[in-house]
A and B are shown apart, each in its own frame.
Chain A
Amino acid sequence: MMDRHSLETTLVVLVGLAITTLLASRHLTAGPATSAAVLGIAVLKGRRILLDFLGLRTAPALWRGLVTAWVTGVASLAWAASAARLLI
C-alpha cells in the first residue's frame, strides 16, 4: 500500500514528466524521434499512474501486465502510424 510520501513523490514525477513532454514537443524538431520521446514519456506516466494511483503494484502480474500492455500498445500504434507516413 502506498503511503502519503510515496504518493507525493509520484505526483512530482508525473508533473515533471508532463512538463518535459511539452518542452520536448516545442523545442525538438518534429519527427519520429521526437514522437517516440513524447510517447515514451506518456508510457512512463501511465505506468506510474497504474502502479501507484490505481494500486496495481500489489495486484497479480497478469492485471499489471494487461494494463501496461494497453498503454504501451496504444502508444506504439500511434508512433508506428506517425512514422509510417515517411514510408508512404
Chain B
Amino acid sequence: MVAAETPEQPMSAQDFETQESGWGILAELPGDPMMWVLIFSELAVFGLLLGAFAVARTVNPSVFASGQGLLDPGLAAINTLVLLTSGWAAARGALAARERRRPACRRWLALAIALGALFVAIKLLEYVGEIGTGADLERSTFFTLYFLLTGFHLLHVMLGMVILAVVLRGAAPAAVETGTSFWHMVDLVWVVMFPIIYLVR
C-alpha cells in the first residue's frame, strides 16, 4: 500500500528570508545587499569616467593643464574636509542606531545631511566662479569631463542626502546602515576624484 503523500506547505516570505536570504556572499556586507549592488554599479561607472579623464589628459596635456589652472583647489579641499566630517557623522549615526539610541542617531544623521548641504553650496559657488571665467561644457574636453564627473557626483551627494533623510525618520539599525553605506560610497568617490581632477599635474 502506498502512503498518501502530504502536500508540502508553502513557505512564507518571512520564513524563506530567515532560512535563506538568497544573496549568498553579498549578505555578509553591512546593510541591504541591494544597496551594495547599486554601490558596485556606481563604482564601475565612476571608475570608467575617471579612467576616461585620465586617458584624455594623456592625449590633450596642454588643454588639461590650462583647464586645471582655472579651478579652485582651495574650495575643493574645504569640500573634502566637509565630506569627510559628514562621513564621520553618518558613521556615528549608524553606531547610535545599533546601540538603539534613536534620538542620538537622528542628530548625527541630521549633521551628516547639513554637511552634505554645505558641500553642495560650496560646489555650486565653485561652479559660479568657474562659469564666470568663461568655463562651460563646450569650452574644452577638460571642462566637458570636469562638469560631467563633478556634476554626476553632486547628484549622488543630493541623492545621498535624500536617502539619509528617509532612514533618519525611523532610525532603524538596518535601514541606517544601508543609507550610510551609500553616503560613504559618495565620500570614497570624492576622495579619489579630488586629487585626480584638481591636484595631479
Q: Which residues of A approach B to under 8 Å, CB–CB?
A: 1-4, 7-8, 10-11, 14-15, 18, 21-22, 25, 30-31, 34-35, 38-39, 41-42, 45-46, 49-50, 52-56, 59-60, 62-63, 66-67, 70-71, 73-75, 77-82, 84-85, 88
Tier of interface size on chain B: 35 or more
Q: Are A25 and B199 in contact (CB under 8 A)?
A: yes
Q: Which residues of B approach A to under 8 Å, CB–CB?
A: 25, 28-30, 36, 40, 43, 46-47, 50-51, 53-55, 57-58, 61, 73-74, 77, 80-81, 84-85, 87-88, 90-92, 94-95, 98, 177, 180-181, 184-185, 187-188, 191-192, 194-196, 198-201
Q: Are A63 and B184 in contact (CB under 8 A)?
A: no
Chain A residues closer than 8 Å to B40, beta-carbon distance: 66
Chain A residues closer than 8 Å to B61, beta-carbon distance: 85
Query: Quick one: which of A10, A31, A59, A75 contacts B88, CB cutoff 8 A?
Result: A10
Which chain B residue lies CB-closest to A34? B201
Q: Chain B at the A interface: mostly helix, strand, loop or mixed?
A: helix
Query: Quick one: which of A11, A21, A50, A81 contacts B85, CB cutoff 8 A?
Result: A11
